[in-house]
Amino acid sequence: MLRSFLTRTRGRGRLDLTDWLTFGYLALAVVLMFGPVAWMALSSFKTESALQEYPPSLLPLAPIHVEVEGYDEPLQLFRVTGGEHEGKLLAQVRRIGLMSQMVDPQNPGERLQVNINDRVPEREFALAVENYSALFERFNFALYFWNSVFITVIATVITILFNSMAAFALSKYRFRGRTFVFILIIATLMIPPTINLVPIYLVVSELGMVNSPWGVIWPAVATPTGVFLLRQYMLTIPDDLLDAARMDHASEWRVYWRIVLPLSAPALAVLVIFSVMWRWNDFLWPLIVLTRSEQFTLQLALNSFQGDLQTSWSNLLAMTVLTLLPITIVFAFLQKYITTGIAQSGVK
């Protein structure tokens, strides 16, 4: 099916102009969206020195070192591109100003003088897996990962519960002021989140939830976006189903739990994806509430790699890749519900 979809053409047996434009547009979109991610993933396997090279290389390449007789440490291998030794592979002993003292690995007894502009390093494809192993040695990665998972999972479950209950009431109950309440909820989207930081922090502090994961979880469990999304979807559920359940003496909780929620699965899946992305990538609010390192999430731990005078870019990129993996897996499993859930949420 995928092959037939990709090979479909407007022309009869050959590619039409519109086909070339379509494939070109799709190829450009793929490069723009996945190119930076691929570059980051490949760069996470580069050494610190390779990351500082200019111009940068796409693949992780490491300099080649060779054992030379008479020298205790392996010497870096260079290819001479100019001068009397052009074309030779020489190992560098030391660099003095603009000149390098080099030796031929086959004839280590003779030292040669080569201008640094006349040689290029020989490199080979190599993965610096120590960038990842160092994370578990220098940082308590498992603890930070557990903190992020706990906050994300608990906050998502509570968000789904609270938002779906509010959406159920606003979509299936008729009461005075229902539209006003809904408009009021949607109007909160116009309030910049930074305005609420101080009052929310004061409330969290009074409740004793500073330096606690619950101080990160509770302030954001009720989202106007989730209420709007679920309400619009629940409006498409026929009221006759609910009335039939009530005639069979089903309680309101049973109607909500056994009928409305299962039928709202596509919209719930969309909200799950949004909630997981919001909680997993949240940085500002955890930075304010959590001050003890043992309570840090992965996003806060990432910030610790950046120092005032020096930044460990190799470790930073490696941890960024590990941080992106869970959210990518969740999106891969639930992405098929995004189009369905959002499209049907706008149909009444």
Q: pLDDT digits over 254-279, tens only?
A: 999 999 999 998 889 889 888 998 99
Judged against a pLDDT cut of 50, whether residue 348 lies above it is answered with: no
Mean pLDDT of 38-54: 85
pLDDT of residue 173: 92
Nearest partner of 40 among 317, 290, 280, 297, judged by Cα:
317
Parallel, antiparallel or unpaired: strands 119-121 and 75-80: antiparallel
- Model's pTM, two decimal places? 0.77
Count other C-beta atoms under 10 Å from residue 163's C-beta. 24
Judged against a pLDDT cut of 60, whether residue 66 lies above it is answered with: yes
What's the CATH number for 132-345?
1.10.3720.10
Give the C-alpha separation, 337 to 348, whole Å. Answer: 18
pLDDT of residue 288: 92
112: amino acid identity, one letter: L
Where do we find the tokens 């109950």?
173
137 CB-contact burial (10 Å; exposed 0-12 / middle 13-18 / buried 19+): exposed
pLDDT of residue 308: 55
The C-alpha angle 215, 216, 220, rounded to 5 degrees, equals 110
- What confidence tens digit (pLDDT) does each residue in 279-321 have? 998 999 999 999 888 899 988 888 776 665 577 788 888 888 8
Tokens of 188: 């909160």
Nearest partner of 224 among 275, 173, 189, judged by Cα:
189
- What confidence tens digit (pLDDT) does each residue in 96-155 have? 888 888 888 888 888 888 888 888 888 888 888 888 888 787 778 889 989 999 999 999
Nearest partner of 221 among 163, 272, 281, judged by Cα:
163
The C-alpha angle 270, 197, 185, rounded to 5 degrees, equals 45
Kindly write down the DSSP assignment for every residue of 152-197, as one continuous string: HHHHHHHHHHHHHHHHHHHHH---TTHHHHHHHHHHGGGS-GGGGH
Tokens of 151: 């906050």
Q: Does domain 65-121 have CATH number 2.30.30?
A: yes
